[in-house]
Amino acid sequence: MTIITRFPPSPTGTLHVGSARTALFNFLFARAQGGKFLLRIEDTDRERSRAEYADQIIAAMKWLGLDWDGEIVYQSRNAGIHRQTAERLLEQGAAYRCFCTEESLEAKRVAMRTQGKPYRYDRTCRRLDHAESDRRAAAGERFVVRVIKPAGSAPPAPQVPASPTPAGGITYQDLLHGTITLREEDLDDIIVMKGDGRPLYHLAVVCDDIAAGVTHVIRGDDHLDNTPKQIVIYQALGEKLPTYVHIPLILGSDRKRLSKREGAENVLEYREAGFLPDAVLNFLALLGWSHPEGREILGRDELIRAFSLDRVGTAAAVFDLTKLRFLNGKHVHGGPPEARARLLADYLTRRGETPPSTADLSAMLKVNGERGDTLAEIADYVRFFWVRPKTYDEQAFKKFLEGRKDLVEKIRREFEALADFEGESMEIFFRDFSERGGLKFKEVGQAIRVMLTGKSVSPPIFQSAALLGRTETLLRIDAAQEALATQK
Ligand code: GLU
């Protein structure tokens, strides 16, 4: 059997962290099993669906590299098939027309609620005979189509005590939750189509999953309530059920529902913040799944190789931004500087900046080492190489430069005179220089750092100076001297 999974987002919002994790588990399971992973845009609800959300979801899937098999299915385009399916169920007697008005249903809902009972449709219209149903429909009376829940018997009369072994109902397997049994009274004759021929969501999902041969439905456990409704439709259609896997939700660090502030509402925000797609995938995979050997830093191929559903846990996963940053740092610094340079160049270009050549960036990144966890932070560390400081960190300027014109002048002279403009030898030289002048080496280093970078924190400053070159170093010291002169 070929495993077929699907990710069917509703385009009523962007791809958020929780949905991306669901997409990833479907993707990994399919890829690990040599199966297929399908993408379906569930735009059946025309009022709530928006084309730009669909486009954004697709862009996020592409960025993450969650590539799907075949064409994207737009569910609304299958509405004709959904309608035909509902009509077929009507003809076969597996569904019936319900003419109950919204008001009468609401009254029944209220009555059930006051009795403390969950609402189930009382099947008034199930008892209509065909001829009457046809006559009322032909007369233009409004109706909806309801599917008959399994067992097909009349609902238990309220005066009869609940039977200990209820007839009917359904039992299905969930790979995480085990066997789930729903009694007949837990089920409802659900509405699958409006009288105007508009199919409803559950019918659309089931029809599309059947048409695509979906074998595994992996989705958040917020769908646990939908599953019985969909199973009612499967059974009415006489179709085999897929295997269900309802994965636990992701919680915020406060162990409450993940807030928008903490987990990105749009996964593409991570791209803007300088995260790598592979790091995001690595992070999402660990939200609910664990590697058999407890490994944490995993590339895409390793995830595919190692993924299995039996290592998906039943406890809610807790979102941890620190971990995402940590993993991103590992992914971004894991590769050679050239690869990092290309990533950084792309990132900067997308943000409208003009980065130096990849070769130059590589050299800068070599000096920078492993500073910064995200591309944004790394950019902040190395940008001074090609953007001269326009201002200076106020505190650092005060602490290391103010009132030190003489020192700055001396430093400038040394930089001008140094025979060898190379990082290591410059550092040795300035250590000696500090000692001779009765100065702390750290203070001298910081003065140079502030002049060259504008900041008190940067990559190693003498290696940086070497890369900037003598001319540029002197220009920057001149600029600092000017700032000192205008200040006093
Ligand atoms: N369109 C549904 C959603 O976005 C899909 C649920 C499912 O996996 O069946 O939540």
On whether residue 172 sits in a domain, the answer given is yes
Q: Which helix (H) or strand (E) holds 105?
A: helix 102-114
User: Is 356:385 a contact under the CB 8 Å cutoff?
Assistant: yes
Q: What SS3 state is found at 206?
A: helix
Is residue 461 pLDDT above 80, yes or no?
Answer: yes
The residue type of 233 is I
On whether residue 261 sits in a domain, the answer given is no
Do residue 101 and residue 165 come from a single domain? yes
Which among 100, 110, 174 has a CA at the least distance from the CA of 133? 100
Hey, which of 19, 78, 205, 222 would you mutate to test ligand 1's pocket, going by the most ligand atoms within 8 Å of its Cβ? 205
Hey, which of 12, 14, 42 would you mutate to test ligand 1's pocket, going by the most ligand atoms within 8 Å of its Cβ? 42
Indicate whether residue 9 lines ligand 1 (CB < 6 A). yes
CA 343 to chain centre: 20
Do residue 155 and residue 211 come from a single domain? no
On whether residue 262 sits in a domain, the answer given is no
Is residue 48 pLDDT above 50, yes or no?
Answer: yes
Is residue 473 pLDDT above 60, yes or no?
Answer: yes
Do residue 114 and residue 145 come from a single domain? yes
pLDDT digits (tens, 9 = 90+) for 93-107: 999 999 999 999 999
Is residue 25 pLDDT above 90, yes or no?
Answer: yes
CATH code, domain carrying 352: 1.10.8
pLDDT digits (tens, 9 = 90+) for 201-225: 999 999 999 999 999 999 999 999 9
Q: How far is the CA of 10 from the centre of ligand 1 (A)?
A: 6
Q: How far is the CA of 40 from the centre of ligand 1 (A)?
A: 9
Q: pTM to 2 decimals?
A: 0.91
On whether residue 438 sits in a domain, the answer given is yes
On whether residue 111 sits in a domain, the answer given is yes
Do residue 283 and residue 374 come from a single domain? no
Do residue 414 and residue 461 come from a single domain? yes
Q: How far is the CA of 97 from the centre of ligand 1 (A)?
A: 27
Mean pLDDT of 193-207: 94
Q: How far is the CA of 41 from the centre of ligand 1 (A)?
A: 9
| Domain around 233 | 4-72+200-250
Do residue 68 and residue 211 come from a single domain? yes
**pLDDT value of position 162:** 36
On whether residue 293 sits in a domain, the answer given is yes
Indicate whether residue 8 lines ligand 1 (CB < 6 A). yes
Q: Which helix (H) or strand (E) holds 96?
A: strand 95-98
Indicate whether residue 219 lines ligand 1 (CB < 6 A). yes
CATH code, domain carrying 152: 3.90.800.10
Is residue 244 pLDDT above 70, yes or no?
Answer: yes
**pLDDT value of position 167:** 59
User: Measured from the CA of 226, which atom of ligand 1 is nearest?
Assistant: 9
Indicate whether residue 383 lines ligand 1 (CB < 6 A). no
Is residue 65 pLDDT above 60, yes or no?
Answer: yes
**pLDDT value of position 264:** 81
* Integer Rg of the chain from CA: 32
CATH code, domain carrying 41: 3.40.50.620
Do residue 188 and residue 278 come from a single domain? no
CATH code, domain carrying 467: 1.10.10.350
User: Measured from the CA of 219, which atom of ligand 1 is nearest?
Assistant: 8
User: How is residue 12 written in tokens?
Assistant: 């009523």
Q: What span, in angstroms and rounded, lies between the C-alpha atoms of 95 and 112?
A: 24
On whether residue 154 sits in a domain, the answer given is yes
On whether residue 19 sits in a domain, the answer given is yes
Do residue 475 and residue 375 come from a single domain? no
Do residue 177 and residue 281 come from a single domain? no
Indicate whether residue 209 lines ligand 1 (CB < 6 A). no
Residues 6+ apart with CB under 8 A from 481: 405, 408, 409, 412
Indicate whether residue 45 lines ligand 1 (CB < 6 A). no
Kindly list the strands in the beta sheet with 95-98, ordered across the sheet, starting from the edge strand earlier in the chain: 95-98, 144-147, 191-194
**pLDDT value of position 121:** 94
Question: In this structure, how many other beta carbons lie within 10 angstroms of the beta carbon of residue 104?
Answer: 11
**pLDDT value of position 160:** 38
Do residue 340 and residue 237 come from a single domain? no
Q: How far is the CA of 189 from the centre of ligand 1 (A)?
A: 21
Q: Mean of the per-residue pLDDT values for the chain?
A: 93
Q: How far is the CA of 202 from the centre of ligand 1 (A)?
A: 10
Hey, which of 78, 208, 223, 225 would you mutate to test ligand 1's pocket, going by the most ligand atoms within 8 Å of its Cβ? 223
User: Measured from the CA of 12, which atom of ligand 1 is nearest?
Assistant: 4
Mean pLDDT of 138-146: 96
Q: How far is the CA of 442 from the centre of ligand 1 (A)?
A: 58
For ligand 1, atom 8, the nearest C-alpha belongs to 219
Among the listed residues 260, 398, 440, 442, the single catalytic one is 260
User: How is residue 55 written in tokens?
Assistant: 């486009």
Is residue 90 pLDDT above 90, yes or no?
Answer: yes
Is residue 161 pLDDT above 60, yes or no?
Answer: no
Indicate whether residue 223 lines ligand 1 (CB < 6 A). yes
pLDDT digits (tens, 9 = 90+) for 400-455: 999 999 999 999 999 999 999 999 999 999 999 999 999 999 999 999 999 999 99
Indicate whether residue 263 lines ligand 1 (CB < 6 A). no
Hey, which of 4, 5, 7, 10 would you mutate to test ligand 1's pocket, going by the most ligand atoms within 8 Å of its Cβ? 10
**CA pseudo-torsion sign 380, 381, 387, 393:** positive
Last residue of some domain: 148, 167, 194? 194
Strands 170-174, 178-182: pairing kind: antiparallel
Indicate whether residue 242 lines ligand 1 (CB < 6 A). no
Do residue 277 and residue 351 come from a single domain? no
For ligand 1, atom 5, the nearest C-alpha belongs to 8
Indicate whether residue 229 lines ligand 1 (CB < 6 A). no
User: Is 233:203 a contact under the CB 8 Å cutoff?
Assistant: yes
Q: What is the DSSP string of 319-364?
A: --HHHHHHHHHHHHHHS-HHHHHHHHHHHHHHTT-----HHHHHHH
Q: How far is the CA of 7 from the centre of ligand 1 (A)?
A: 7
**pLDDT value of position 195:** 83
Q: How far is the CA of 8 from the centre of ligand 1 (A)?
A: 5
- Known catalytic membership, residue 149: no
Do residue 469 and residue 411 come from a single domain? yes
Q: What span, in angstroms and rounded, lies between the C-alpha atoms of 480 and 486?
A: 10
Mean pLDDT of 192-199: 91
Residue holding tokens 């690595």?
Answer: 282
Is residue 156 pLDDT above 70, yes or no?
Answer: no
Mean pLDDT of 369-382: 98
pLDDT digits (tens, 9 = 90+) for 327-343: 999 999 998 889 999 99
CATH code, domain carrying 321: 1.10.1160.10
Domain total of the chain: 5
Indicate whether residue 208 lines ligand 1 (CB < 6 A). no
Indicate whether residue 49 lines ligand 1 (CB < 6 A). no
